[in-house]
Structure 1
Amino acid sequence: MYKLLIVEDDQDMAAALKKLLEKWGFNSVICRDFENILKTFEEEAPHIVLMDINVPAFDGFYWCKKIRELSSVPIIFCSSRDSNLDIVMAINNGGDDYIQKPFDSHVLIAKLQAMVRRTYEYRTVETPLIECNDVFLNLNDTKIYYQNENLELTKNEFKIIKTMMENKGKVVTRDSLMKQLWNDDIYVNENTLSVNINRLRNRLKEIGVHDFVQTKKGIGYIIK
């Protein structure tokens, strides 16, 4: 069953959409926190987002753009606004389709089913994200994302954090990390790895991520 996130501040409309979508086999979730829609998106990990434009705090264009920084999940705008400029803005900010309210329920369902087929059934999509403790690593742009912040990593920082996140809950030895970073015959002082780890930790703190990579004294490092 595909999960669909409904971003709609009209409670009656949201409830009606949820009922309709579940009738057609979608697992529907209504967003309740309009101050941080991105957090709800990360927690629910939906297959499709149905996004209104006129939502509190920031509009749907803003949240669509923020989601696009993390994911390529399909986003369909569903709004009473009908100007060509709104449609253009929706697409330019990362939207995949636009349907105007009031809409025919059969048209909406047909669009959603077509989106599912194109995205999930006609081809295999590999997610470019690794997640640990609400921290996301995007393998495509080598950036770390946490809540509303992001950080562009250097080549060595990316190699370190990717290895650590892929082995969450396991100790990664210093020797293993050294080989990941400097896989050649040139001698590298072990202190160089410590410098890289400390720099990475300090940079993660800048976006609010603390105690992410922990030291196992005499062995290596771990993300718990």
Structure 2
Amino acid sequence: MWINGNIRELRGGRILNKYLLIADDNDGILDILSTYVTKEGFLPLIAHDGEEALKMFKEYKPLLMLLDVMMPKKDGFTVCKEIRETSTIPIIMVTAKGEDGDRIMGLDIGADDYIVKPFSPGEVMARIRAVLRRLDIPEGQREDIICHPGLKINISDYEVIIYEKPVSLTKKEFEILWLLASNPGKVFSRDNLLNSVWGYEYFGDARTVDTHIKRLRSKINISETFSWDIKTIWGVGYKFEVKNV
């Protein structure tokens, strides 16, 4: 269900992908929408033209797209058509064109909704919430998977794939990575991690967390080319950080 504007657990499954792709050639609109979707708990991806939008869609597999019609290189209609050949990702068309023919065309080629400029950011967020409510996952199709660029974590079989290579982790290492990657940008203190991963009944030293993080980093072998990182917040704890895209 949708609670306080943020993604929460859905019936029969969870949506853990928080990427939302905004494609528009107007920097002002990009700035405004990025600010609003960030407040709603999403991670905005920015594309300035149709070709960039397609590239980012293929790389990040976002949860939803806000797609402007009048963009350079490839217009929004073309982008929508190409995406619909392989994906059912929710797409909301955003355009200055208000004619019925354009709206009908956008919906006919596979768009889920259509917003005409000028619009209020509140209206856009309401449309996003409405579209995402339709993503309820049927019973028996639960998918406990977290995806970030170059990273896939499947809790059903404790599988971690990093840039197409499987990585073997212990149960605790896996659970630490799962917790951090499920909450990008959130700082977890050592006590938070102890309580969440080891449980409130654990009476060990908080340095246990540091040891497991060190081993986790060693196995993952994070490099500067990665689109994400496990950051140390000195004197506090750790966080999973997605680099600017």
- State TM-score, norm by structure 1: 0.53
Structure exhibiting the larger radius of gyration computed from Cα positions:
1
Select the structure that is richer in helix.
1
Secondary structure at the counterpart of residue 21 of structure 2: strand
Q: In structure 1, what is the equivalent of residue 82 of structure 2? A: 66
Q: Could you tell me how far 1:73 is from its partner in structure 2?
A: 0.3
TM superposition shift of 1:61: 0.2
| Offset at residue 126 of structure 1 (A) | 8.0
Question: 1:19 matched to which residue of 2?
Answer: 35
CA distance in structure 1 between the aligned counterparts of 2:165 and 2:39, rounded to whole angstroms: 40
| 3-state secondary structure, aligned to 1:39 | helix
Is the contact between residue 49 and residue 75 of structure 1 (CA under 8 Å) also seen in structure 2? yes
Q: Which amino acid aligns with 1:113?
A: R
Q: Which residue of 1 aligns with 2:110?
A: 94
1:7–1:51 Cα contact (<8 Å) kept: yes
- Supply the distance in 1 between the matched residues of 2:20 and 2:53 (Cα, whole angstroms): 14
The aligned residue for residue 146 of structure 1 is none
Contact 2:24 2:49 in 1 (8 A): no
1:24, distance to aligned residue in structure 2 (A) = 1.8
CA distance in 1, matches of 2:55, 2:111: 19
Match of 1:29 among 16, 28, 45: 45
Larger RCO of the pair (alpha carbons < 8 Å, separation 6+): 2
Q: Structure 1 residues 105, 169: CA separation in 2 closer, same or farther (over 3 Å shift)?
A: closer
CA shift digits 1:152-180 (9 cap, x unpaired): xxxxxxxxxxxxxxxx779xxxxxxxxxx
Q: Does 1:114 find its partner at 2:139?
A: no
Q: Which runs of 5+ in 2 are unaligned?
A: 1-6, 8-17, 144-149, 151-163, 167-245
1:47: which partner in 2?
Answer: 63
Residue 92 of structure 2 corresponds to 76
Unaligned runs of 5+ in 1: 128-133, 135-167, 171-224
Structure 1, residues 117-158: CA drift from partner, whole Å, max 9, x if none?
Answer: 211x4546689xxxxxx9xxxxxxxxxxxxxxxxxxxxxxxx
How many pairs were matched up?
130
Equivalent position amino acid for 1:17 in 2: L
Query: Cα–Cα, structure 1 residues 169 and 14, in superposed 2: closer, same or farther, change >3 Å?
Result: closer
**1:1-224 mapped onto 2 (5 Å cutoff):** 2-32=18-48, 34-119=50-135, 121=136, 123=138
Q: Secondary structure at the match of 1:81?
A: coil
Residues 48 and 71, structure 2, Cα contact 8 Å, conserved in 1: no
Structure 1 moving runs of 4+ over 6 Å: 124-127
Question: More displaced, 98-107 or 26-35?
Answer: 26-35
